[in-house]
Amino acid sequence: MCGIAGIMTRDGRPPDSRVLDRLIENLGHRGPDGDGKHLSYGVGMVQTRLAIIDLETGDQPLYEPGGAALVANGEIYNYRELRDELDDVRFATRSDCEPPLHLYRREGPRFSHRLRGMYAIAIHDPAESRLVLTRDPFGIKPLYYVETPTVFAFASEPQALIAAGLATPELHPGHRDELLQTQFTCGAETIYQGIQRVLPGETLVVRSARVVDRHRRDALAAGPPAFLSEDSALQELDRVLEDSVAMHQRSDVPYGLFFSGGIDSTAVLAMMARLNDKPVNAFTASFPETADPDQKALVRSLAEQCNATLTEVEFGEQDFWTLLPQVVADIDDPAADYAVLPTWKLAQTAAQDLKVVLSGEGGDELFAGYGRYRSVLRPWWMGGRTIRSKGAFDGLGVLRETGTAWRDGIASAEARVAEFGWTPLQRAQAIDCADWLPNDLLTKLDRCLMAHGLEGRTPFLDPVVAGFAFGLPDALKVKKHRGKWLLRRWLDKTVPGANAFERKRGFTVPVSEWIRRHGTRLGELVAAQPAVEAACRPDRVRRLYLGTGKREGFAAWTLLFYALWHKHHVEGAGGDGDVFEVLADRG
């Protein structure tokens, strides 16, 4: 896990070394174990390294005999198998990222179709006068770029491009409203004017600082589900899950697990317990002194049954007020998901002893766990509806703009998935995999962990697991008003105490409860923020923070996140202090 960045100049002159140094400086948290620089033929590339595999010889950039140079962020899990296939290659390192470089020399820009892992890779090939960027199919690892009249530049985080003077923190108003309504932004355009995402599975070819070609590797196979009996599906699920977890444990440093007690993380824990001789290091979050039911007893019981060493990390109300400004400062591509709070503190704790943690992200999307998936299977007269048909602020009278333009990105994803011959359930899953998963859940995971130099791995988001799970018959995903049916059946057999058929458990952060306790004061402070006033009616904002409903609480949290995010990432303000001090700061 690392940070990468680079510049290609339009005229072929060497990039400014001071700008490359600023990129290294602003990506240092992603790779505290060292850095490297490549400079050749009008191209400069840098990497900050978090050493996970090949600790001694795996420094980057990596080079191959044809002169191409590579910098990468991520892990290639099938690197051993690729090395065996490339039996005529003389490898210079044991790095998992060297096989992709040799694959590129043989297969060109489509080399990434052979990779199994999470990655954002940049290759400079002087012989072909091109720069090639590629990102894994689910978008587990981030990659951003800008095109200016004089340069093409890329980086693992937008803030690095901004800090290096390659972009400005000017917002796109439409994407601002999209963020407020959905918690994240969709598609290739970010919330920043001019900063683009390399899309999940996308490969860009750049010449003379201009994108000249692009193609995409889809994460999900086209076509309707295949027929499969439940018994045979259970056997295959066991096989692919064991294979994926084993792959995701390939590491030269210790690893652990983020464990919530929910279906997905319990399934990963059960498989890790099967594959490891020693107890798994599991980290769980809890929320003391709240009205929500405490899941401590269940989590402890499951950890004991799976022979895990459990570390409990409490996230209380005081943490909320003191840590939220720090958390927001680490999430430059905004994802207003309150799960950032426990994830950030879990990462802070786990990083004291580990460099790698596995998590259950992706299980809901691939095995159809969300209630909204069951909704799309119902006709409209029985409550069926399309995904994210309503925004968080619809009907509250808070936003100045009340149209549906915020939904354009979702509509674009809907149009694209309609071309693949999928069932309505598969289409709903695919829409989430296109935007919600990479731009909310995986952005949250990446930034919270990378802030502490910790690598996050997601065994469900593996091509083998995804090919199996997404292709399951709908009836093995949703059955008897339960999502993730097959995964529940497997877990029920594997870990009987998991209560696999009870309602979904996971991180339930009582942010609404905490916000309500200070509603009057917070309402005044949030409403007074110029960024909030530009998007919202101040009197309605103040009223929102006095509300007691679930929707009002969710909207109040979103506005609080946005106000703090804007102060730090756009205004350059919001330094040290708790939530109230940062919001009150007019400097």
Residue 508, pLDDT score? 75
Percent of the chain at pLDDT > 90 equals: 84
Q: pLDDT-derived band of residue 507, with 50, 70 and 90 as boundaries?
A: low
Residue 481, pLDDT score? 87
Residue 400, pLDDT score? 93
In a domain, 190, yes or no: yes
Residue 526, pLDDT score? 98
Residue 470, pLDDT score? 97
198 and 261 housed in the same domain: no
* Domain end residue (candidates: 216, 251, 269): 216
Residue 143, pLDDT score? 98
Give the burial string for 406-432 (b: 16+ CB within 10 Å, else e): bbebbebbbeebeeeebeebbbbbbbb
Q: pLDDT-derived band of residue 495, with 50, 70 and 90 as boundaries?
A: very high
Check pLDDT > 80 for residue 55: yes
Mean pLDDT, residues 333-346: 97
Residue 317, pLDDT score? 94
159 and 267 housed in the same domain: no
Q: Cβ(531)–Cβ(562) under 8 Å?
A: yes
DSSP string covering 350-371, please? Answer: HTTT-SEEE--TTHHHHHT-SH
Of 157-161, 205-209, 383-387, 398-402, the range with the lowest mean pLDDT is 383-387
Residue 116, pLDDT score? 97
What does the alpha-carbon distance between residue 244 and residue 241 come to, in Å, rounded to a whole number? 5
Where in the sequence is the domain holding 547, given as residue range(s)? 511-584
Q: pLDDT-derived band of residue 376, with 50, 70 and 90 as boundaries?
A: confident
12 and 114 housed in the same domain: yes
Residue 543, pLDDT score? 96
Tokens of 35: 């850095």
271 and 155 housed in the same domain: no
Mean pLDDT, residues 534-540: 96
Q: pLDDT-derived band of residue 403, with 50, 70 and 90 as boundaries?
A: confident
Q: pLDDT-derived band of residue 61, with 50, 70 and 90 as boundaries?
A: very high
* Domain end residue (candidates: 471, 498, 525): 498
32 and 164 housed in the same domain: yes
Residue 505, pLDDT score? 55
Q: pLDDT-derived band of residue 379, with 50, 70 and 90 as boundaries?
A: low
In a domain, 6, yes or no: yes
313 and 266 housed in the same domain: yes
465 and 580 housed in the same domain: no
Burial class (CB in 10 A: 0-12, 13-18, 19+), 272: buried
200 and 246 housed in the same domain: no
Residue 387, pLDDT score? 77
Residue 375, pLDDT score? 85
The CATH number covering residue 103 comes to: 3.60.20.10
Mean pLDDT, residues 217-233: 92
251 and 360 housed in the same domain: yes
67 and 177 housed in the same domain: yes
* Domain end residue (candidates: 216, 239, 267): 216
Of 128-137, 225-234, 380-389, 393-402, the range with the lowest mean pLDDT is 380-389
Mean pLDDT of the chain: 93
Element (H, E) at 442: helix 442-450
Tokens of 581: 């001090």
Check pLDDT > 90 for residue 281: yes
Residue 293, pLDDT score? 56
Q: pLDDT-derived band of residue 502, with 50, 70 and 90 as boundaries?
A: confident
Mean pLDDT, residues 546-572: 95
Check pLDDT > 90 for residue 386: no
Question: How many domains does one find in the chain?
Answer: 3
What does the alpha-carbon distance between residue 469 and residue 459 come to, in Å, rounded to a whole number? 12
Residue 58, pLDDT score? 85
Place of tokens 């690729």: 82
Residue 259, pLDDT score? 96
Residue 303 Cα distances to 259, 272, 294, 336, angstroms? 9, 12, 16, 30
In a domain, 429, yes or no: no
What is the dihedral sign for C-alpha 136, 142, 146, 151? negative
Check pLDDT > 90 for residue 1: no
The 10s digit of each residue's pLDDT in 283-303 is 999 988 665 455 788 899 999
Residue 114, pLDDT score? 95
121 and 245 housed in the same domain: no
Of 84-88, 214-218, 418-422, the range with the lowest mean pLDDT is 418-422
The 10s digit of each residue's pLDDT in 454-481 is 999 999 999 999 999 999 999 999 998 8
In a domain, 325, yes or no: yes
In a domain, 253, yes or no: yes
The CATH number covering residue 439 comes to: 3.40.50.620
In a domain, 405, yes or no: no
Q: Cβ(354)–Cβ(281) under 8 Å?
A: yes
In a domain, 143, yes or no: yes
Residue 468, pLDDT score? 97
The 10s digit of each residue's pLDDT in 92-131 is 999 999 999 999 999 999 999 999 999 999 999 999 999 9
Percent of the chain at pLDDT > 70 equals: 96
494 and 543 housed in the same domain: no
In a domain, 416, yes or no: no
Size of the chain in residues: 587
